[in-house]
Amino acid sequence: MLEKLKQEVCEANLELVRRGVVIYTWGNVSGIDRKSNTMVIKPSGVSYDNMQPEDMVVVSLETGETVEGKWKPSSDTKTHLALYRAFPELGGITHTHSTHAVAFAQAGRDIPALGTTHADYFYGDIPCTRELTAAEVEADYEGNTGAVIIETVRTRRIEPLAVPGIVVKNHGPFTWGKDAAASVYHAVVMEQVAEMALKTLLLNPDAAIAQYVLDKHYLRKHGPNAYYGQSK
Ligand SMILES: [Zn+2]
C-alpha cells in the first residue's frame, strides 16, 4: 500500500544525509496520505545505508497502530502523529539534530529572523518551545513533545506553513511542509539560517531586520501576490 508515498518518504530521509543535516540515525522524516489517514515514516534505528522504500512503516493516524511494515516505526512517531492531527495543512514532517539549530534549542532561544535568507522561508522568528515538565516526560515523552510544539505554535499565533518549523528546548528542530520533501527542505534551510544567526549574534548581539524587509522577502515568494521565480 501507498507505494508512491513510501518512495517519497524514503527519498526524503536519504536527502537529509546527502545535505549533511543527519549523521548515524539521528533523524526521521514522515509523510501523510490524508485520504486514507495513514502516515508513512522511517523505521526506528535502521541505518540509512541501503534504506529502501519497503523499509518504511505505515501507521494509522487515528490509532497510532502499525498498519504495514516489517520494522518498528521511528521512536518519534507519536510526535509526528500529534502534529498531523493538530494541523491538517501538514503533508510532511522532518526531525533532525542538526548542530546550529540544536545550539539554539539547547540555549532555549528562538532562532531570530535577522536577514533576507531567513525571511525567504520563515516569516518571523523560529520559536523555541518551553521545557517539558518531569510529569510530561514521565507520562508520554514523545506525545508531549508534540503537545508542547502545538502549544507553542498556538500561543505564538503562528501560521504553520508560514513558519514551517520550531526548535524543542534542549532537544532540536522539527520542520514541516506540504509534503515530505518540503519538510526536509525546511530542515536544511533552518540549519543554514541558524548558523547565520549564531555568527551574526557573535558579531553584533543587537542585530535585527526591519519588519518591512521581512515582509518584502517573505511575501514576494509566498502568498497571493508572490512574484519570485518563473511564472507557472
Ligand atoms: Zn530527537
Are the beta carbons of 208 and 114 closer than 8 angstroms?
yes
Name the pairing type of β-strands 92-96 and 27-33: antiparallel
Quote the ligand 1 centre to 115 CA distance (angstroms). Answer: 27
This prediction has a pTM of 0.96
For the chain, list residues with pLDDT below 50: none
Nearest partner of 91 among 138, 35, 129, judged by Cα: 35
**Cell numbers linked to 75:** 521512536
Q: By the 8 A CB rule, do 38 and 56 touch? A: no
> Which residues does the annotation mark as catalytic?
120, 228
CATH number of the 3-221 domain: 3.40.225.10
- pLDDT for res 232: 57
3-state secondary structure of 135: helix
Calculate how far, in angstroms, residue 53's C-alpha sits from the geometric centre of ligand 1: 22
Q: pLDDT for 121-151, tens place per residue?
A: 999 999 999 999 999 999 999 999 999 999 9
Calpha distance 12→163 (Å, rounded) = 20
pLDDT of residue 45: 87
Distance 145 CA to ligand 1 centre (A): 10
| Residue of 122, 127, 103, 125 lying closest to 112 (CA atoms) | 125
Q: Separation of 83 CA from ligand 1 center, angstroms?
A: 15
**What pLDDT was estimated at residue 231?**
66
